[in-house]
């Protein structure tokens, strides 16, 4: 009986987000409007955190458009709090460059 030697799987090479082909080819970006909604109601990140139970880090990532993934429970809590749907919380905008959201 011969022994079967199994090689260890090699993990895929990490690719920075901005170097990914799909990101480079995309002409659109998704912008979170949470900061706009908060400004309209004169809410701070801390006040929204206390009212929704969300962490200030999660709120900050959405406000600053630095979040790369969106938790569905977080989005549901925000939609419930503001009485809106995802169409009001997010907008699709043209991709202009690396720092698209700095002047939004």
Within a domain: 100? no
Distance of CA 49 to the CA centre of its chain: 17
Residue 65 sits in a domain whose CATH number is 1.10.260.40
Within a domain: 8? no
Q: How many domains does the chain divide into?
A: 1
Within a domain: 103? no
Task: List CB contacts of 86: < 8 A, sequence separation 6 or more.
Answer: 75, 79
Query: What integer pLDDT is reported at residue 2 of this predicted model?
Result: 63
Convert the pLDDT of each residue in 14-49 to its tens digit: 878 778 787 788 888 899 999 999 999 999 999 999
Within a domain: 69? yes
Summarize the confidence of residues 67-80 as an average pLDDT. 95
- The residue range of the domain holding 51 is 26-94
Confidence of residue 10 (pLDDT cuts 50, 70, 90): confident
| C-alpha dihedral (25, 85, 34, 32), degrees to nearest 10 | 0
pLDDT of residue 62 exceeding 80, the answer is yes
Q: What percent of the chain has pLDDT over 90?
A: 60
> Residue 69 is encoded by which pair of tokens?
């993934």
Within a domain: 67? yes
Query: What integer pLDDT is reported at residue 96 of this predicted model?
Result: 79
Within a domain: 62? yes
**Structure-model confidence comparison of residues 54 and 2, the more confident one:** 54
Within a domain: 58? yes
Within a domain: 11? no
DSSP labels for the chain?
-PPPPPPPPPPPPP--GGGSHHHHH--EEEEE-HHHHHHHTT--HHHHHHHH---HHHHHHHHTT--SS--HHHHHHHHHHHT--HHHHEEEEE--STTTTTT-
């Amino acid at each position: 009986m011969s022994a079967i030697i199994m090689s260890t799987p090699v993990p895929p090479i990490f690719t920075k987000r901005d170097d990914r082909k799909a990101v480079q080819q995309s002409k659109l970006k998704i912008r979170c409007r949470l900061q706009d909604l908060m400004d309209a109601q004169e809410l701070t990140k801390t006040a929204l955190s206390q009212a929704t139970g969300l962490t200030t880090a999660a709120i900050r990532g959405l406000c600053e458009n630095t979040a790369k993934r969106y938790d569905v429970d977080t989005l549901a809590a925000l939609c419930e709090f503001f009485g809106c749907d995802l169409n009001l919380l997010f907008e699709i905008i043209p991709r202009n460059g690396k720092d698209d959201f700095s002047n939004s």
